[in-house]
Amino acid sequence: MARLPESLPDDVWTVVCDFTRQPALSLVCRHLWTLLQKRHHKLHLRGDSLPRWVEWCQEQVRTAELTVQRAGGGHTLATLRHCTALHTLNLDLHNNHVGDAGAEALATLKNSPA
């Protein structure tokens, strides 16, 4: 009898996780937690927490659905450009006063590495 996840290579688990875009697969075992925990997120954050979140997962996050409260100016939103593996971003900024600097920071995201 095959044992999961050892019976499949890591790249297969990564593809399955990216296809489903669900973080639940990372909860199966410690190995998959280590491999997949930072790939797909659905979070509510305060603006001052956003840079820490970006620093924590910047090279691994693939999809993010973020509701940001008190986003502040453009500097906070500009940190999202450091998420080099980011493929899909859904950003909810309702009740924020983003202003011109925030709008410019969001515009620069389309030219980010990912």
Residue pLDDT, tens place only, 34-61: 888 888 888 899 888 989 999 998 888 8
User: Residue 46, Cα to own-chain centre: how many angstroms?
Assistant: 15
Give the closest residue to 41 by CA, choosing from 61, 69, 67.
Answer: 61
For the full predicted model, state whether its pTM sits above 0.85: no
Residue pLDDT, tens place only, 59-78: 888 888 899 888 776 778 88
Mean pLDDT, the chain, rounded, equals 83
